[in-house]
Amino acid sequence: MVNQAMKFLNYLFVFVMMTAINLGNSTDLQALEVANERENSADQEYYELRIYKIFDYEKQQIAENYLQTALIPALNRMGVDRVGVFSNSSDENDHSLFMLIPFSSIEQFTNMNQRLAEDADYQTNAGAYFKRNMKTAVYQRIESRFMKAFKGIPALEIPAYSSEKKERLFELRLYESPTEDHARRKVKMFNEGEIDIMRDVKLAPIFFGETLIGPDVPNLVYMLSGTDEEAHGQHWKDFLAHPEWNRIKGIEEYKGTVSTIKKWMLAPTSFSQL
């Protein structure tokens, strides 16, 4: 009986190996690889939020041209889409550009620079931008944050008015917490009710990200959207009056979890994909 079982296992092993070899000689192997990539991709997206710190209108235009003609097309070619680029409508003297780049996996993020270095079209289109030196550089610095999407909103949610490029605005918010545990509890509060309230009152959340690497950690970052300032303001009033918000904000576990709030009102550039 044992010998028969061993023979069967050996036969099964040979069958599986031969099947794999045959697959390797067919297009089925490519389909299998694609399926494996999808299975191994993150359930929750990752985001890089960049702030190109620019204090000159002319240099803002140069940076926008670089992003529009060189960087974003190159990102799209490597499978990175829905890239958002925004200006700061809260401060007319600030010419910084805010850029949100979504990634399906950490590997896609870590491979980005190498892929850009190997992209001939990108190198050509970015040539004039790269020739600038320390005296003529477009930006003062690039501030970067790398984040993982919340479970409550694992991928970008793009409202119709945004995908259709209609009039729209965005609100970017950053919440700092006093300790890592406070930050964990605030993330839990969003995942277990606060995000749904925002959806319910039409604050139209775009993303929520827990900052893994970046300045001023621990913190989280999220983005809301609206069709205009009046409607967006009303949606915030509806949020504050929502009975579920008034219930969960009184839960002891969630009290005192945010020490500092920073926010920016943003306007999409003409080429933003959000």
- Contacting residues for 105 by C-beta, under 8 A, at least 6 apart: 40, 41, 42, 46
3-state secondary structure 115-144: HHHCCHHHHHHCHHHHCCCCCCCCCCCEEE
**Confidence (pLDDT) at 27:** 40
Angstrom distance (rounded) from CA 264 to CA 223: 10
Closest CA to 145 of 172, 115, 171, 107: 172
Write down the residue that tokens 């504050």 correspond to.
240
Write the DSSP assignment of 166-192 as a string of letters.
-S-EEEEEEEE-SSHHHHHHHHHHIII
> How many C-beta atoms surround the C-beta of residue 115 within 10 A?
16
Write down the residue that tokens 């067919």 correspond to.
26
Mark the ranges of the chain whose per-residue pLDDT is less than 50.
1-42
Write the DSSP assignment of 55-104 as a string of letters.
--HHHHHHHHHHIIIIIHHHHHHTT----EEEEETT-TT---EEEEEEES
* Partners of 86 in the β-ladder: 98, 268
**Confidence (pLDDT) at 43:** 87
pLDDT one-digit tens code per residue, 93-136? 999 999 999 999 999 999 999 999 999 999 999 999 999 999 99
**Confidence (pLDDT) at 30:** 40
pLDDT one-digit tens code per residue, 14-38? 444 444 444 444 444 444 443 444 4
Give the H or E element holding residue 149. strand 142-149
**Topology annotation, domain 46-268:** Alpha-Beta Plaits (3.30.70)
